[in-house]
């Protein structure tokens, strides 16, 4: 073995993953490509010590502290720890957790990478105030500034605005030029940066590195994983409310809404009206308030009660019941994904959408179970109906939560970056479902996305939010 290797794997087998031979040397840039459920995420568990091989040789030539993982699960772990601290007596009542600057080395707070990733203005914010994209950029900054030698990034470009995608790509390229080895675990071909030097493919639990001189053969192998698909149309629920019986002029109406956190205006005098079937696209920079806007409508942002917000004809704060809102609403987003930490099987998770619950505590009807199974078939997960939800990969969990939102055919379907963590086949499947929903003329879509290839012609209204200073 050469002196500059960081990782060397020979004939390794572990639960769900096999690797015949793989070596990562100092300063190398790798793309490990695989679809949702392929076993790709098991690689980061193997390299971080969370997964033990049952046979073969795994040689790691650096300290575990020099291997850093940036993933949705890593972000979730920090978020849960911040919630735990806030719920106890570990921090003062007037504090909201750990500030961004406290995650970074004190002697490197003037590093230009902070400006490259547009995080300078967020240094005094609390971690829980960050958007999903901002928290991911923070983890990358933390790893590089703390002199990581191997940086593992699981779909790092998801949920980033276009400027941040470019900035993060440049930052990771700089990390490679500094001698840091970078391994990107990706599910979408369009996310592969031009500076990637080496490729590996994960399919059906087997990882296959490609020859450095493979050239066009690399892309051909990736293309083989991406096949055409037909989008099914599961049944509508028996109690789905006919749109023609909906009497209000608007599904949602926000008039001059302002939301502040810690004195900082996130939304300032925002007005938005969504009529039935006026499918609406929301875009904007990371931290511009997109999720906050959705929270005003769903009720997850409590400042909806101090603003002029009307949803399904009910003015917020005038005595409307939670059920008056929830029974017409379907929701997918990072906050729901964070909270869906209960132990239940996949079929129960989908059925919970009928009851707007985290987990299933009511007995669904036979018809509801049939619709749930139709949605599982539509997302090609029928064979995992009895599998534990928590045992799925992040992308597979996302698919299940999308099915959960769609089962009751809500009047308003709120999709906050729903394709986050999905491979391109499943992403196209979800976009196909949206087109199918438009054709049914029942649900109104409110969709947040950064990806220009998701800006579908069906959107009748486009709101672009700008970052407040």
C-alpha 100, offset from chain centre: 20
Q: Does domain 243-465 have CATH number 3.40.50.10490?
A: no
pTM of the predicted protein model: 0.81
CA-based max dimension of the chain? 73
**Tens digit of pLDDT at every position of the chain (469 positions):** 344 789 999 999 998 999 999 999 999 999 999 988 889 989 999 999 999 999 999 999 999 999 999 998 888 889 888 877 766 554 444 456 899 999 999 999 999 999 999 899 899 988 988 888 899 999 999 999 999 999 999 999 988 888 889 999 999 999 999 899 999 999 888 899 999 989 999 999 999 998 665 556 665 666 665 555 455 556 655 555 566 667 889 999 999 999 988 777 889 999 999 999 999 999 998 888 998 999 999 988 889 999 999 999 889 888 777 777 888 899 998 888 888 988 999 999 999 999 989 999 999 999 999 999 988 988 889 999 999 999 998 889 999 999 999 888 888 999 999 888 888 888 888 888 888 888 878 889 999 998 888 899 999 999 999 887 6
Instruction: Compute the distance between CA of residue 135 and CA of residue 141 in angstroms, rounded to an integer.
Output: 10
H-assigned helices in 23-177: 40-47, 72-87, 112-116, 132-145, 162-177
Q: Which residues pair with 209 in a beta bridge?
A: 200
Does this chain's domain 5-224 share its CATH topology with 243-465? yes
| Residue 120, phi-psi category: left (phi > 0), alpha (psi -120 to 50), beta (remainder) | alpha
Q: How many CB atoms lie within 10 A of CB 81?
A: 13
**Residues 314/325, Cβ–Cβ less than 8 Å:** yes
At 172, is the secondary structure helix, strand, or coil? helix
Domain range list for the chain: 5-224, 243-465
Closest Cα partner for 47 from 159, 181, 244? 181
Query: What's the CATH class of domain 5-224?
Result: alpha beta
């Amino acid at each position: 073995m050469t002196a500059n290797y960081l990782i060397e794997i020979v004939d390794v087998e572990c639960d769900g993953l096999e690797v015949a031979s793989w070596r990562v040397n100092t300063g190398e840039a790798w793309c490990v490509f695989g679809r949702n459920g392929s076993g790709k995420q098991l690689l980061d568990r193997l390299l971080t010590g969370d997964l033990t091989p049952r046979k073969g040789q795994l040689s790691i030539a650096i300290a575990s502290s020099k291997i850093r993982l940036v993933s949705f699960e890593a972000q979730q772990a920090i978020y849960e720890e911040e919630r735990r601290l806030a719920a106890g007596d570990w921090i003062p009542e007037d504090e909201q957790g750990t500030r961004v600057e406290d995650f970074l080395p004190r002697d490197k707070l003037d590093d230009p990478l902070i400006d490259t990733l547009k995080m300078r203005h967020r240094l005094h914010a609390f971690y829980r105030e960050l958007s999903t994209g901002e928290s991911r950029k923070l983890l990358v900054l933390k790893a590089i500034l703390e002199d990581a030698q191997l940086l593992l990034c699981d779909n790092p470009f998801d949920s980033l605005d276009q400027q941040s995608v470019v900035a993060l790509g440049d930052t990771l390229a700089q990390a490679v030029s500094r001698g840091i080895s970078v391994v990107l675990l990706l599910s979408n071909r369009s996310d592969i940066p031009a500076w990637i030097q080496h490729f590996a493919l994960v399919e059906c639990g087997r990882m296959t590195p490609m020859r450095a001189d493979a050239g066009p053969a690399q892309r051909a192998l990736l293309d083989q994983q991406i096949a055409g698909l037909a989008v099914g149309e599961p049944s509508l629920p028996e109690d789905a409310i006919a749109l023609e019986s909906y009497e209000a002029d608007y599904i949602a109406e926000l008039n001059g809404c302002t939301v502040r956190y810690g004195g900082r205006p996130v939304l300032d005098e925002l007005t938005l009206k969504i009529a039935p079937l006026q499918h609406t696209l929301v875009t904007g920079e990371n931290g511009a308030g997109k999720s906050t806007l959705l929270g005003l409508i769903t009720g997850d942002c409590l400042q909806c009660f101090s603003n002029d917000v009307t949803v399904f004809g009910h003015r917020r704060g005038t005595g409307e019941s939670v059920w008056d809102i929830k029974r017409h609403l379907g929701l997918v987003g990072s906050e729901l994904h964070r909270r869906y930490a209960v132990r239940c099987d996949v079929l129960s998770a989908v059925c919970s959408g009928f009851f707007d619950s985290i987990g299933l505590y009511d007995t669904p009807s036979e018809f509801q179970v049939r619709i749930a199974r139709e949605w599982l078939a539509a997302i090609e997960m029928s064979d995992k109906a009895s599998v534990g939800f928590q045992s799925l990969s992040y992308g597979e969990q996302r698919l299940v939560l999308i099915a959960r939102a769609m089962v009751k055919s809500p009047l308003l379907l709120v999709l906050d970056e729903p394709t986050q963590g999905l491979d391109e086949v499943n992403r196209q499947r979800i976009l196909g479902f949206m087109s199918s929903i438009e054709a049914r003329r029942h649900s109104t879509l409110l969709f947040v996305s950064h990806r220009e290839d998701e800006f579908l012609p069906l959107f009748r209204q486009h709101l672009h939010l700008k970052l407040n200073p």
